[in-house]
Structure 1
């Protein structure tokens, strides 16, 4: 895998920049990762950071469930009395969101091409998902009320092309599209710079902020109807990682915490976590949080 031109508009990048640097497209404004040397995309997602761990009883998992319920409540409010809500989670991971949506009475479908994550979803949560790569056309019978992409868009080699294809063929008119992404304009990014955990280079091929994503999505026939900024499990974690980096920590916080590595990190986390939480709460006021979740409504016409 290489990426030497903008994955949105195809504009040729500044090739004199170092490999794995990020640059803003001079044509369409999208920030993307320059990859000049070939990378094995499959091997990229087989590292220890992306390894599946059964942490269903952990506080981290409970937080994910709580945030999933927040999204479900928001969608239920949008659709008012309509039931059941038919939902597709594109890039459904281990299936936590789909589990809670199913418990809420939704009709759920998922696509997850990471086989171990799809297997976990089926075996641990009883959620059936497809592991086939999507290229075009309908998924099942299509006609979904809701399509979700939680931390998926930034991984896609042609993000807006896929977004257009999947929503045109599978989302009802008046349906809701939910996109959650890292916020390139966050305080976390400013603090940690190129070491910000949510840049996640080279896995993240594009990098977004609210205004740019809104502009690009509305051009596909949508209207933004709601924004949510506060995320405990990834927002506060990103803030924690950024502050710890400034204090000298150079590891991968997700991997180290998931595997309970490094006593020093656990002590540092306990000390810095309250500051990280407060910083992320304040960032909400300025739309500078590490994670943003946007809700778009597909035009009726």
Structure 2
């Protein structure tokens, strides 16, 4: 097994459980720090059209009315946790969803960008003028070359 980001085979198992499948193992790459799982039970197509961020359904199930504002306190806590690491830096958030974290981090970072497969969140990124990529291949001039020191992801 290799790291999805840098291709390294040097990784360690982390503690924790995956809510969808508690038997799934969690690993952290020793080269780039990416946290990844030992298996993937979905495809990219699932996430593109999976309606994971289907606003109408989420609102109906949770009783929420505005996901970005409803998650403001949660994302503020994430920002507080990593603020000292992102001030003046380029920030790339994998699985950035509705961009709630990036909207808050944008004020402090040199630049922000989200990587999110779900297609229906694109208008939010446009509204807040936050670059959005569908894959790592589209980052860093299209060649997939990224300065690993500038990557940061907190869940």
TM-score under structure 2 length normalisation:
0.52
What's the offset of the Cα at 1:118?
Answer: 2.2
Structure 1 unmatched runs, 5+: 1-5, 10-20, 142-165, 181-301
- Considering only aligned residues, what root-mean-square deviation do their CA atoms show, in Å? 4.2
The answer to whether the 8 A contact 1:89-1:109 is kept is: yes
Name the structure 2 match of 1:134.
136
Partners of 1:41 and 1:120 lie apart in 2 by 21
What's the offset of the Cα at 1:59?
Answer: 6.4
Partners of 2:85 and 2:44 lie apart in 1 by 38
C-alpha distance after superposition, 1:217-269 (max 9, x if no partner):
xxxxxxxxxxxxxxxxxxxxxxxxxxxxxxxxxxxxxxxxxxxxxxxxxxxxx
Name the structure 1 match of 2:119.
115
What's the offset of the Cα at 1:113?
Answer: 2.8
CA distance 1:108–1:50, change in 2 (3 Å)? closer
Higher CA-based Rg: 1
Partners of 1:92 and 1:51 lie apart in 2 by 15
Q: Are residue 92 (structure 1) and residue 99 (structure 2) matched?
A: no
Name the structure 1 match of 2:49.
46
Number of equivalenced pairs = 122
Name the structure 2 match of 1:170.
147
The answer to whether the 8 A contact 1:23-1:31 is kept is: no
The answer to whether the 8 A contact 1:24-1:32 is kept is: yes
Residue among 69, 86, 93 paired with 1:62: 69
TM-score under structure 1 length normalisation:
0.31
Structure 2 unmatched runs, 5+: 4-8, 10-20, 26-36
Name the structure 2 match of 1:73.
80
Partners of 2:94 and 2:51 lie apart in 1 by 23
Q: How does 1:5-44 map to 2 (within 5 A)?
A: 32=39, 42-43=45-46
What's the offset of the Cα at 1:49?
Answer: 4.7
CA distance 1:113–1:58, change in 2 (3 Å)? same
The answer to whether the 8 A contact 1:118-1:130 is kept is: no
C-alpha distance after superposition, 1:198-234 (max 9, x if no partner):
xxxxxxxxxxxxxxxxxxxxxxxxxxxxxxxxxxxxx
